[in-house]
Amino acid sequence: MADKPTAEKLTAEELRELFLFERLDDSQLAWLVEHGHVEHRTAGTPILTEGEPATCFFVLLDGTVALSRNIGGEIVETNRTDHRGSYFGATQSYLEADTPSKTHYQMTVRSITDTRMFQLPAEDFGPIVREWFPMALHLLEGLFFGLQNTQRATSQRERLLALGSLSAGLTHELNNPAAAAVRATAALRERVAGMRHKLAMLASGAIDPVTLPSLVLLQEEAVERVAKAPKLAPMQASDREDEVADWLAERGIQASWDLAPVLVAGGLDVEWLSGAVAKCPQATTEAAIRWIAYTVETESLMNEIEDATTRVSTLVGAAKQYSQMDRAPFQVVDVHELLDSTLVMLNSKFGDGVQVVKDYDRSLPLISAYAAELNQVWTNLIDNAIAAMNGKGTLTVRTYRDDVCVVVEITDTGVGVPPEIRDRIFEPFFTTKAVGEGTGLGLDITWRIVVNKHHGDVRVESRPGRTTFQVRIPLNPLKAQ
Residue by residue, DSSP assigns 277-332 as HTTS-GGGHHHHHHHHHHHHHHHHHHHHHHHHHHHHHHHHHHHHHHHTTTS-SEEE
The residue with greater pLDDT, 321 or 113, is: 113
The mean per-residue pLDDT over the stretch 110-132 comes to 91
Number of H helices, E strands in the chain: 14, 15
Sort 270 into a burial class: Cβ within 10 Å, 0-12 / 13-18 / 19+: middle
31 pLDDT higher than 90: yes
Report the range out of 138-147, 155-164, 304-313, 330-339 with the highest average pLDDT: 330-339
| pLDDT class of 327 with cuts at 50, 70, 90 | low
Average pLDDT over residues 60-82: 80
pLDDT of residue 479: 39
Query: Burial, 54: exposed, middle or buried (Cβ in 10 Å; 0-12, 13-18, 19+)?
Result: buried
Average pLDDT over residues 162-182: 66
The pLDDT score that the predictor gives to residue 27 is 92
Question: How much of the chain, in percent, has pLDDT values that exceed 90?
Answer: 21
Q: What is the pLDDT of residue 94?
A: 80
| Residue 456 near residue 473, CB atoms below 8 Å | yes
Assess contact for 253 and 285: CB atoms under 8 A: yes
On average, the pLDDT of the chain sits at 78
Residue with the bigger pLDDT between 80 and 177: it is: 80
| Closest of 217, 195, 197, 199 to residue 207, by C-alpha | 199
pLDDT band at residue 266 under the 50/70/90 scheme: confident
Per mean pLDDT, which of 4-13, 112-121, 202-211, 335-344 is the most reliable?
Answer: 112-121
**Residue 434's pLDDT band (boundaries 50, 70, 90)?**
very low
Give pLDDT tens digits for 440-470: 446 877 888 888 778 888 888 888 899 999 9
The strand ranges marked E within 84-142 are: 87-89, 108-111, 115-121
pLDDT at 328: 56
Residues 229, 234, 238, 241: what is their CA dihedral angle, to the nearest 10 degrees?
20
Residue 211: its pLDDT value, please? 63
Of 54, 170, 178, 63, residue with least CA distance to 110:
63
Provide the percentage of residues in the chain whose pLDDT is more than 70: 75
Region 362-385: what's the mean pLDDT?
86
Residue 439 to residue 432: CA distance in whole angstroms:
10
Better-scored residue on pLDDT, 45 or 250: 45
253-257, 324-328, 340-344: which range is least confident on average?
A: 324-328
Band of pLDDT at residue 100, cut at 50, 70 and 90: confident
pLDDT band at residue 204 under the 50/70/90 scheme: low
Query: Which pLDDT value is given to residue 439?
Result: 37
Return the closest-CA partner of residue 71 out of 426, 453, 469. 453
pLDDT band of 201, cuts 50, 70, 90: low
CA 53 vs. chain centroid, Å, equals 35
Span 5-31, average pLDDT = 87
**What's the confidence (pLDDT) of residue 480?**
35
Residue range 406-429: mean pLDDT, rounded: 80
**pLDDT score of 109 more than 90:** yes
Q: What distances in angstroms separate CA 390 from CA 163, 180, 353, 413, one per listed residue?
A: 21, 30, 9, 10
pLDDT at 233: 80
Strand pairing of 354-359 and 393-402?
parallel
3-state secondary structure of 174: helix
Judge whether residue 144 has pLDDT over 60.
yes
pTM: 0.44
Least-confidence region, from 48-62, 75-89, 214-228, 408-422: 214-228
Which of 110-114, 387-391, 421-425 is least confident?
421-425
Q: pLDDT tens, 381-409?
A: 998 898 889 888 999 999 999 888 899 99
Secondary element (H or E) of residue 408: strand 405-412
- Per-residue pLDDT at 116: 94
Q: State the Cα–Cα distance between residues 353 and 423, nearest whole angstrom.
A: 30
182 or 361: which carries more pLDDT confidence?
361
More confident of the two residues 27 and 306: 27
pLDDT of residue 145: 65
Q: What are phi and psi of 138, to 5 degrees?
A: -60, -40
Quote the CA–CA distance of 429 and 444 in Å, as a whole number: 8
pLDDT per residue as tens digits for the range 331-343: 788 999 889 888 8
Q: Is pLDDT above 50 for 437?
A: no
> Which has the closest alpha carbon to 120: 22, 48, 37?
37
Q: In this predicted structure, what is the pLDDT of residue 37?
A: 92
The Cα–Cα gap between 198 and 193 comes to 9
Lowest mean pLDDT across 66-75, 327-336, 359-368, 393-402 = 66-75
pLDDT reported for residue 1: 40
More confident residue, 181 or 151: 181
In 390-434, where does DSSP find H-type helix? Answer: none
